[in-house]
Structure 1
Amino acid sequence: MSRHARADTLDDAVRQLMQEAWDLSGEDARTAAELDHLYGRLQEPVRLAVVGPARSGKSTVVNGLVGEQVAPLPLGDGHDVVTWYADGPSPRVTAWTADGAAQELATTRSVHGLRLDPRPTRRSGITDLRVAWPARSLRHLTLVDTPGHDSTADGHRAAGEPAVAEADAVLYVTPEIRGADLQILQTAQDGPVAAAAPVNTVIVLTRADEVGGGRIDALLTARQRARRQQRDPAVAAMCTGVVAYGGLVALAGRTLSDADFTAVAAIAGEPRDTQDVCLLSADRFAGDDSPLPVDADLRRRLLHRLGIHGVRLATTLARTGCATRAELAAELVRRSGLAELREVVNGCFIERRTVLKARTALAGLDRLARRLPGQDGVHLRARVEQLLATAHDFRELRLLAAMRAGQVAFTGEAGTEAHRLLGGHGTDAAVRLGADHELSGGELWDLTADAMHRWQQHAEDPRLGLHQRRAAAAVVRSCEGMLVALGS
């Protein structure tokens, strides 16, 4: 590609900039290897790092997104390493050491999930595990499960830092948002590329089913709390969204067996007084002297898989209308928050994979430019800054971040529409327009033209402030891009 070739899309522009970097690097082997790596990343699925404090529930997030119990995978010496989950034709686990050596590991699958043979991994110097797993959810996504940190910024930098730095986006997993968590996320936003293309993070509030001691309305309460925290300007400035997630309930719904359903239905058939007494606590439910018509081993298995809240919820659902295993499984998944988590991952990350991978590539080019001598480095850094400043995809990200942080605001329905048209809920044209996916291309075109006309009026409205008019002009540009795409 000529260095002066016309770049029609952000992806084209990044590739063109890489070609310029290759031309500037001359015969430097290290720089050429880095550019080859960055170019290869553009072809790969989005890398999504799952990050959070130790014992925060990261594995339940991974399991929910994959759809099976594949995490965690501790080594034979008991410690965790960075674990990569990618799509593959058959299950396969490969261990990598710091010197680049690879070894395929023996694995087993059971009711408790995927497990490693611990013997070959003791004192082995393994730094990464690569798991190939056949899953539709991994076709456009590589999950990177990182070791838990100690809830401090220093701990975060020590735990899986290279994997996080290489990630295109982050799921930050925590039972509750604390000041230390926001400090960690702030640290991750350091650097010129992160400032120009902000916030590639979603916060997942795990242990949602433990709110209020696992009450029957725990998941609903956790979802309401997530919405309140998302409106907090300090939180909104650090992430694109906050999602409440009950991992045990989600995984139980995805893997509910006929035996599990039969046991739940038997408990639900008992008198309410008996159920209420036995479900007061985990100890009463699992005790050998329980009057429930399910043996103790099976009750303990249910408790392990669903938690006390999940058992209460499943029993209530079975008693009030979920008459089959499929109905109960679907309702558990729906209430767990898994569907919302998947929607957020799809809308914020998978649909924006081009801009997220471009962001990663530009961060790499910026680091490379700082090593190039003299005017070559100055030129490449200037070109990176120019692309970050002018590409509309990055303008959308900056404006969405400013709106979430309250720096730019529109009143009433205008604010909701602006957020949607800028791709805050997803980049598909129907989603941006808040329209039915069944509409024809011509109908979507008409809706887009109407929206563009409204926002052109906002952009020229003298009653609005300068920041609002500039934001309105950016919304107009998003509508123009949709019209071009719908007309092609």
Structure 2
Amino acid sequence: MKNPTMAGAKELVAAALEVYGDDPAASDALKGYGRRLSEPLRIAIAGMVKAGKSTLLNAIIGEEIAPTDTGECTRIITWYRHGHTPRITLYPVQGEPRSLPLKRVDGRLVFVLGDVRAEDVERLDVQWPAPGLKDMTLIDTPGIASLSGDISARSTSFLTPLDTPSEADAIIYLMRHMHASDLRFLESFADTAVGRSGTVNAIAVLSRADEVGAGRIDSLLSAGDIAERYRRDHNLRKLALGVVPVAGLLAQGARTMRQPDFRALELLAGMDRAAREKMMLSADRFLRATDPEGMTAEARASLLERYGLFGIRLAVVLLRNGFDQPTPLAHELARRSGLDPLLETVGRQFQARADALKARTALVGVEALLRASPRKGTEHLAEALEKLQANAHEFRELRLLSTLRTTGVGLNPEFAAEAEALIGGLGAASHVRLGLGPDATPEQLADEARRLLSRWRALAENPLTDRAAQDACRVVIRSCEGIVAECSVREFQRQLAQHSSRQAKPLPA
């Protein structure tokens, strides 16, 4: 089904191109906005130095293609896009782009920069045939508080430009703890042109979550409690759609598990429990140990580097509890690392509303252009822009979500929480909005949407409901009506498919 908001954004960009066709800079910017509307959603991964950004990116992609050491490459903004053949292109600050050689060391992709310094590189562009990159482009950014002021400033200006849309449609922000510097950056991102339009488009990740409990098996439970506390924090709640704890190193190791890893873990699982626990009291003890027999020092060091003590402990417990094959073990480790909940959150909050986020970015770009380069004959562009911004229901939902999380609209806590869910604050899918399971039928979804529709109409018509709350009610009502309409379409399609199936059956002889 054609998305009217996306169609309107494309038409507006095309109309602006006709008006600004004689301005090379404006024309290039508009063409860029047009391309973004047709490309996958751009999601940046950001955070302070050593927050685990590249490690998490590898886990999301499922391959070790982002460098995780402290070399030059981690100081460069790097784009990861889907491509049918692997390719790495270096875009220098000055000069023409050039291809870099593809090189793997121990299964990991290595960027060969030669004598090029990070300061001289605008960005690296990696095209890779990973299924996870078909629906989103990931952008790895250097640490916000890098020791190099130039690198840190470039990363910040890339993500939080003053008068133009950010290169990222949404952001995954990693933090080891919630510090004032993390809040300041998220406030800066929320204060970009897109943010000022009333869009909350960040997810916070409590990274290296296994370190919260000092590597104990229950570390992720402790991290979950902390994440929930952060999630309820008023200062962070208005800047991020959620807080997810993730053990990034374990997630990367699980998604890229090798057969030698599994064999080494099997050897550990076969040891006497007391001897194994004594050996794993610290990383130093683990590396100096001589047991179990047949496990080399290289294998021990590789396990520690790829999984950490927490990951090794968890893998051994799972092996002894029936996950005795590589694939089931890898899947369970990925689930317990927190990666699966993060991917679900990204899917619900970003990818499910990708068209709205991309259209929002394009409209902000056109708006900035009209403001910076006004000229005669642009009145129709301004009118179309204003109409699209005011009437697009997706934008109304995003604005209301931002308002609910900041100033509020005069609703009591119960109605405010229900409104947030119904407008997609917990996820854009209909069953998530309604608080039903993923297996709910169209009829069940429609019945619940109609029940809530009546409830919110009654609230809107109540003379004691103030103006701000009534405006919020109208947005919620429109969201409920959209769900009912969607369910009607799905039911019609189901009946049509059944009818076609009956028509296709051969007549009895």
TM-score (norm 1): 0.89
Which residue does 2:397 correspond to in 1? 396
Look up the equivalent residue of 1:159 and give its one-letter code: S
Q: Report the Cα offset of residue 189 of structure 1.
A: 2.2
Give the secondary-structure state (helix, strand or coil) at the position aligned to 2:137: strand
RMSD: 2.9
> 2:94, 2:120 within 8 Å by CA — same for their partners in 1?
no
1:142 and 2:143 equivalent? no
Q: Report the Cα offset of residue 356 of structure 1.
A: 0.7
Structure 2 CA distance for partners of 1:463 and 1:290, relative to 1, 3 Å:
farther
Which residue does 2:353 correspond to in 1? 352
* Distance in 2 between residues matched to 1:394 and 1:335, nearest whole Å: 35
Which residue does 2:299 correspond to in 1? 298
> 1:95, 1:129 within 8 Å by CA — same for their partners in 2?
yes
Look up the equivalent residue of 2:462 and give its one-letter code: D
1:161 to 157, 160, 164: 157
Give the secondary-structure state (helix, strand or coil) at the position aligned to 1:321: coil
Give the secondary-structure state (helix, strand or coil) at the position aligned to 2:49: coil
The aligned runs of 1:362-401 (5 Å cut-off) are: 362-373=363-374, 380=381, 383-401=384-402
> 2:42, 2:136 within 8 Å by CA — same for their partners in 1?
yes
Which residue does 2:7 correspond to in 1? 12
1:389-409 per-position Cα deviation (integer Å, ceiling 9, x unaligned):
332211211222233347247
Look up the equivalent residue of 2:427 and give its one-letter code: G
* Distance in 1 between residues matched to 2:150 and 2:102, nearest whole Å: 34
Structure 2 CA distance for partners of 1:378 and 1:181, relative to 1, 3 Å:
farther
Bigger Cα displacement from structure 2, 25-34 vs 37-46: 25-34
1:86 and 2:81 equivalent? yes
> 1:370, 1:381 within 8 Å by CA — same for their partners in 2?
no
The count of residues paired between Structure 1 and Structure 2 equals: 482
Structure 2 CA distance for partners of 1:410 and 1:154, relative to 1, 3 Å:
farther
2:114 to 115, 119, 127: 119
Structure 2 CA distance for partners of 1:291 and 1:162, relative to 1, 3 Å:
closer
> 1:196, 1:388 within 8 Å by CA — same for their partners in 2?
no
Look up the equivalent residue of 2:481 and give its one-letter code: E
> 1:231, 1:404 within 8 Å by CA — same for their partners in 2?
no
Which residue does 2:229 correspond to in 1? 228
Q: Report the Cα offset of residue 75 of structure 1.
A: 11
Give unpaired runs (5+ residues) of structure 2.
161-165, 490-509
Look up the equivalent residue of 1:341 and give its one-letter code: L
Which residue does 1:3 correspond to in 2? none
1:134-185 per-position Cα deviation (integer Å, ceiling 9, x unaligned):
1221111001111112179998543263366211111112211211111111
Look up the equivalent residue of 1:176 and give its one-letter code: H
1:326 and 2:350 equivalent? no
* Distance in 1 between residues matched to 2:407 and 2:308, nearest whole Å: 39
> 1:52, 1:148 within 8 Å by CA — same for their partners in 2?
yes
Structure 2 CA distance for partners of 1:58 and 1:318, relative to 1, 3 Å:
same
* Distance in 1 between residues matched to 2:226 and 2:371, nearest whole Å: 43
* Distance in 1 between residues matched to 2:474 and 2:142, nearest whole Å: 43
Look up the equivalent residue of 1:245 and give its one-letter code: V
Q: Report the Cα offset of residue 416 of structure 1.
A: 4.4
* Distance in 2 between residues matched to 1:464 and 1:423, nearest whole Å: 23
Which residue does 1:103 correspond to in 2? 98
Which residue does 1:209 correspond to in 2? 210
Structure 2 CA distance for partners of 1:272 and 1:8, relative to 1, 3 Å:
closer
The aligned runs of 1:254-333 (5 Å cut-off) are: 254-290=255-291, 294-333=295-334
> 1:229, 1:235 within 8 Å by CA — same for their partners in 2?
yes
> 1:82, 1:147 within 8 Å by CA — same for their partners in 2?
yes
* Distance in 2 between residues matched to 1:481 and 1:90, nearest whole Å: 41
Give the secondary-structure state (helix, strand or coil) at the position aligned to 1:166: coil
* Distance in 2 between residues matched to 1:374 and 1:91, nearest whole Å: 44
Look up the equivalent residue of 1:217 and give its one-letter code: D
Look up the equivalent residue of 1:28 and give its one-letter code: D
Percent of aligned pairs with the same amino acid: 37
Q: Report the Cα offset of residue 308 of structure 1.
A: 1.2
Give unpaired runs (5+ residues) of structure 1.
1-6
Q: Report the Cα offset of residue 32 of structure 1.
A: 2.3
> 2:271, 2:292 within 8 Å by CA — same for their partners in 1?
no
1:293-326 per-position Cα deviation (integer Å, ceiling 9, x unaligned):
6332211111111011111211222223323222
Structure 2 CA distance for partners of 1:74 and 1:21, relative to 1, 3 Å:
farther
Q: Report the Cα offset of residue 214 of structure 1.
A: 1.4
* Distance in 1 between residues matched to 2:397 and 2:263, nearest whole Å: 50
Structure 2 CA distance for partners of 1:404 and 1:293, relative to 1, 3 Å:
farther
Structure 2 CA distance for partners of 1:159 and 1:124, relative to 1, 3 Å:
closer
Which residue does 2:39 correspond to in 1? 44
* Distance in 2 between residues matched to 1:154 and 1:435, nearest whole Å: 49
* Distance in 2 between residues matched to 1:130 and 1:365, nearest whole Å: 26
Look up the equivalent residue of 1:158 and give its one-letter code: R
Q: Report the Cα offset of residue 463 of structure 1.
A: 5.0
Bigger Cα displacement from structure 2, 105-114 vs 239-248: 105-114
Which residue does 1:27 correspond to in 2? 22
